[in-house]
Structure 1
Amino acid sequence: MSTSRQLSESRAIPTKTVLINDTTQLPHDYCTTPGGTLFSTTPGGTRIIYDRKFLLDRRNSPIAQTPPAHLPVIPGVTSLNVLTENQKNEANNHVNNHDGKPATGKR
Protein backbone atom coordinates (compact mmCIF):
# COMPACT_ATOMS: atom_id res chain seq x y z
CA MET A 1 0.00 0.00 0.00
CA SER A 2 1.60 3.24 -1.03
CA THR A 3 0.66 6.63 0.24
CA SER A 4 1.13 9.74 -1.76
CA ARG A 5 2.46 12.82 -0.10
CA GLN A 6 1.94 16.31 -1.23
CA LEU A 7 4.90 18.60 -0.64
CA SER A 8 4.21 22.13 0.43
CA GLU A 9 6.33 25.20 0.25
CA SER A 10 7.84 26.49 3.45
CA ARG A 11 6.86 30.00 4.38
CA ALA A 12 8.34 32.39 6.88
CA ILE A 13 6.36 33.11 10.02
CA PRO A 14 5.12 36.69 9.75
CA THR A 15 6.70 39.04 12.28
CA LYS A 16 6.17 42.65 13.15
CA THR A 17 8.75 45.00 14.67
CA VAL A 18 7.39 47.62 17.04
CA LEU A 19 9.51 50.39 18.53
CA ILE A 20 9.06 50.60 22.31
CA ASN A 21 10.39 53.69 24.07
CA ASP A 22 9.33 52.77 27.60
CA THR A 23 8.39 49.56 29.42
CA THR A 24 4.99 51.05 30.24
CA GLN A 25 4.13 50.62 26.56
CA LEU A 26 4.40 46.83 26.85
CA PRO A 27 1.14 44.89 27.12
CA HIS A 28 0.14 43.55 30.55
CA ASP A 29 0.46 39.93 29.40
CA TYR A 30 3.87 40.34 27.74
CA CYS A 31 6.06 37.21 28.17
CA THR A 32 3.12 34.93 28.97
CA THR A 33 1.60 32.04 27.09
CA PRO A 34 -2.14 31.34 26.87
CA GLY A 35 -1.65 28.66 29.56
CA GLY A 36 -0.15 31.20 31.96
CA THR A 37 3.50 30.18 31.68
CA LEU A 38 5.86 33.14 32.09
CA PHE A 39 9.17 33.33 30.27
CA SER A 40 12.10 35.70 30.21
CA THR A 41 15.87 35.83 29.75
CA THR A 42 18.74 36.91 31.96
CA PRO A 43 21.22 39.56 30.77
CA GLY A 44 23.56 36.66 29.91
CA GLY A 45 20.96 35.12 27.62
CA THR A 46 19.82 32.23 29.84
CA ARG A 47 16.18 31.39 29.25
CA ILE A 48 13.95 31.32 32.34
CA ILE A 49 10.55 29.63 32.22
CA TYR A 50 8.15 29.86 35.16
CA ASP A 51 5.07 27.70 35.35
CA ARG A 52 2.02 29.62 36.59
CA LYS A 53 1.19 26.95 39.19
CA PHE A 54 4.77 27.06 40.55
CA LEU A 55 4.60 30.84 40.99
CA LEU A 56 1.16 30.74 42.61
CA ASP A 57 2.36 28.05 45.04
CA ARG A 58 5.18 30.34 46.17
CA ARG A 59 3.33 33.64 46.42
CA ASN A 60 3.08 33.42 50.23
CA SER A 61 6.73 32.42 50.70
CA PRO A 62 8.83 34.70 52.98
CA ILE A 63 11.24 35.36 50.10
CA ALA A 64 8.30 36.62 47.97
CA GLN A 65 7.51 39.41 50.43
CA THR A 66 8.75 42.96 49.94
CA PRO A 67 11.38 43.34 51.28
CA PRO A 68 12.32 39.64 51.22
CA ALA A 69 12.68 38.06 54.66
CA HIS A 70 15.69 36.12 55.99
CA LEU A 71 18.32 37.82 53.80
CA PRO A 72 21.85 38.33 55.17
CA VAL A 73 22.79 41.86 56.19
CA ILE A 74 24.95 43.39 53.47
CA PRO A 75 25.39 47.17 53.99
CA GLY A 76 24.21 49.08 50.96
CA VAL A 77 22.65 45.98 49.40
CA THR A 78 20.15 44.39 51.80
CA SER A 79 20.29 47.10 54.46
CA LEU A 80 20.91 50.82 54.63
CA ASN A 81 24.43 51.91 53.75
CA VAL A 82 25.44 52.70 57.33
CA LEU A 83 29.04 52.06 58.27
CA THR A 84 30.08 51.69 61.86
CA GLU A 85 32.96 53.81 63.18
CA ASN A 86 35.24 50.75 63.12
CA GLN A 87 34.39 50.01 59.47
CA LYS A 88 35.09 53.66 58.55
CA ASN A 89 38.53 53.45 60.20
CA GLU A 90 39.31 50.22 58.35
CA ALA A 91 38.27 51.80 55.06
CA ASN A 92 40.43 54.89 55.74
CA ASN A 93 43.43 52.74 56.65
CA HIS A 94 43.02 50.77 53.45
CA VAL A 95 42.81 53.95 51.34
CA ASN A 96 45.79 55.59 53.07
CA ASN A 97 47.95 52.46 52.93
CA HIS A 98 49.24 52.44 49.35
CA ASP A 99 52.22 50.10 49.77
CA GLY A 100 50.11 47.05 50.69
CA LYS A 101 51.50 46.66 54.24
CA PRO A 102 49.11 46.10 57.12
CA ALA A 103 47.98 49.37 58.64
CA THR A 104 49.10 50.10 62.18
CA GLY A 105 47.71 52.50 64.72
CA LYS A 106 50.98 54.51 64.74
CA ARG A 107 51.79 57.26 62.25
Structure 2
Amino acid sequence: MKHDFSDVVPENFYTEDGHINLEALVNREEHLYALSIAQRALAGIEEQLTSSIGGSDDWKYRANAAHKRWTWLIARIRERLSIFKAREKKRQIIGFVE
Protein backbone atom coordinates (compact mmCIF):
# COMPACT_ATOMS: atom_id res chain seq x y z
CA MET A 1 0.00 0.00 0.00
CA LYS A 2 1.33 3.41 -0.95
CA HIS A 3 1.73 6.06 1.70
CA ASP A 4 -0.33 9.20 1.22
CA PHE A 5 2.11 12.11 1.30
CA SER A 6 -0.58 14.77 0.95
CA ASP A 7 0.25 16.01 4.43
CA VAL A 8 3.87 16.58 3.39
CA VAL A 9 3.63 17.82 -0.20
CA PRO A 10 3.17 21.58 -0.58
CA GLU A 11 0.37 22.82 -2.80
CA ASN A 12 2.75 23.97 -5.58
CA PHE A 13 5.15 20.99 -5.30
CA TYR A 14 5.32 20.55 -9.08
CA THR A 15 5.91 23.21 -11.71
CA GLU A 16 3.59 23.54 -14.70
CA ASP A 17 5.92 21.35 -16.77
CA GLY A 18 5.90 18.58 -14.14
CA HIS A 19 9.23 19.19 -12.45
CA ILE A 20 9.70 19.42 -8.69
CA ASN A 21 9.47 23.06 -7.67
CA LEU A 22 12.57 23.44 -5.53
CA GLU A 23 11.51 26.88 -4.33
CA ALA A 24 8.26 25.49 -2.90
CA LEU A 25 10.09 23.20 -0.49
CA VAL A 26 10.11 24.74 2.97
CA ASN A 27 10.77 22.17 5.67
CA ARG A 28 12.83 19.03 6.15
CA GLU A 29 9.91 16.67 5.45
CA GLU A 30 9.16 18.28 2.08
CA HIS A 31 12.82 18.07 1.11
CA LEU A 32 13.03 14.41 2.13
CA TYR A 33 9.91 13.60 0.11
CA ALA A 34 11.31 15.42 -2.93
CA LEU A 35 14.63 13.62 -2.51
CA SER A 36 12.83 10.28 -2.48
CA ILE A 37 10.99 11.10 -5.71
CA ALA A 38 14.14 12.42 -7.38
CA GLN A 39 16.20 9.36 -6.44
CA ARG A 40 13.54 6.99 -7.77
CA ALA A 41 13.31 8.97 -11.01
CA LEU A 42 17.09 8.97 -11.43
CA ALA A 43 17.28 5.22 -10.78
CA GLY A 44 14.62 4.64 -13.44
CA ILE A 45 16.48 6.75 -15.97
CA GLU A 46 19.78 5.00 -15.22
CA GLU A 47 18.11 1.61 -15.64
CA GLN A 48 16.63 2.65 -18.98
CA LEU A 49 19.94 4.06 -20.18
CA THR A 50 21.85 0.87 -19.35
CA SER A 51 19.23 -1.50 -20.75
CA SER A 52 18.49 0.46 -23.93
CA ILE A 53 21.18 -0.43 -26.41
CA GLY A 54 19.36 0.49 -29.62
CA GLY A 55 17.65 3.70 -28.58
CA SER A 56 17.50 6.62 -31.01
CA ASP A 57 19.95 9.48 -30.70
CA ASP A 58 17.08 11.83 -29.81
CA TRP A 59 15.92 9.50 -27.01
CA LYS A 60 19.45 9.17 -25.64
CA TYR A 61 19.88 12.95 -25.72
CA ARG A 62 16.61 13.51 -23.82
CA ALA A 63 17.39 10.72 -21.33
CA ASN A 64 20.86 12.16 -20.65
CA ALA A 65 19.36 15.64 -20.22
CA ALA A 66 16.82 14.26 -17.73
CA HIS A 67 19.62 12.40 -15.92
CA LYS A 68 21.57 15.66 -15.57
CA ARG A 69 18.53 17.54 -14.32
CA TRP A 70 17.63 14.92 -11.68
CA THR A 71 21.27 14.70 -10.58
CA TRP A 72 21.39 18.48 -10.23
CA LEU A 73 18.11 18.52 -8.29
CA ILE A 74 19.29 15.80 -5.90
CA ALA A 75 22.47 17.76 -5.19
CA ARG A 76 20.47 20.94 -4.44
CA ILE A 77 18.06 19.08 -2.14
CA ARG A 78 20.97 17.47 -0.28
CA GLU A 79 22.60 20.89 0.15
CA ARG A 80 19.42 22.26 1.66
CA LEU A 81 19.07 19.24 3.95
CA SER A 82 22.61 19.80 5.20
CA ILE A 83 21.63 23.37 6.08
CA PHE A 84 18.66 22.06 8.09
CA LYS A 85 21.01 19.67 9.88
CA ALA A 86 23.55 22.42 10.66
CA ARG A 87 20.82 24.69 12.01
CA GLU A 88 19.46 21.92 14.21
CA LYS A 89 22.95 21.17 15.52
CA LYS A 90 23.48 24.86 16.26
CA ARG A 91 20.18 25.01 18.15
CA GLN A 92 21.19 21.98 20.19
CA ILE A 93 24.57 23.50 21.04
CA ILE A 94 22.99 26.81 22.01
CA GLY A 95 20.43 24.92 24.10
CA PHE A 96 23.22 23.20 26.05
CA VAL A 97 25.00 26.49 26.75
CA GLU A 98 21.97 28.23 28.23
Q: TM-score range, shorter-chain basis?
A: under 0.3
Q: Which structure has the larger Rg?
A: 1
Give TM-score scaled by structure 2 length: 0.24
Give TM-score scaled by structure 1 length: 0.23
